[in-house]
Amino acid sequence: MDEEELPLYCTGGLRFFWDNKFDHAMVAFLDCVQQFKEEVEKGDTGFCLSYRMDVEKGKIEDTGGSGGSYSIKTQFNSEEQWTKALKFMLTNLKWGLAWVSSQFYNR
């Protein structure tokens, strides 16, 4: 079992931009959301998240709007692009949470 720490926070400062642990953590979190999606789809073929995730590239794709893909990594990324990627990931999380809530509500 890999014991690597993947912090989903930073203390700021210049070191933040040179330390890629946060980027690795963001990709790992995106992977968790992707795994959740795949598990739900096994039992509910109608389940769909708003934005497609490409974990290998660490990107999330705007399939309905601009068609662009946005990196969730901070390194070599603009604030605008990174903010869009996080917005899309949070939207996917919101839809995932709504699906989970509906499963308990319907019981």
| pLDDT tens digits, 52-79 | 999 999 999 998 878 899 999 988 899 9
How far apart CA 26 and CA 8 sit, in angstroms, is 7
pLDDT band at 17; cut points 50, 70, 90: low
What top-level class would CATH report for the domain 14-102?
mainly alpha
51/18: higher pLDDT: 51
Q: Which amino acid is at 62?
A: D
Where b means 16+ CB within 10 Å and e means fewer, 47-68 reads eebebbbebeebbbbbeeeeee
| pLDDT tens digits, 79-97 | 999 999 999 999 999 999 9
pLDDT reading at 13 higher than 70: no
- Per-residue pLDDT, averaged over 13-28, amounts to 79
pLDDT reading at 107 higher than 70: no
DSSP letter at 56?
T
Q: Would you kindly state where each structural domain of the chain is located, as residue ranges?
A: 14-102
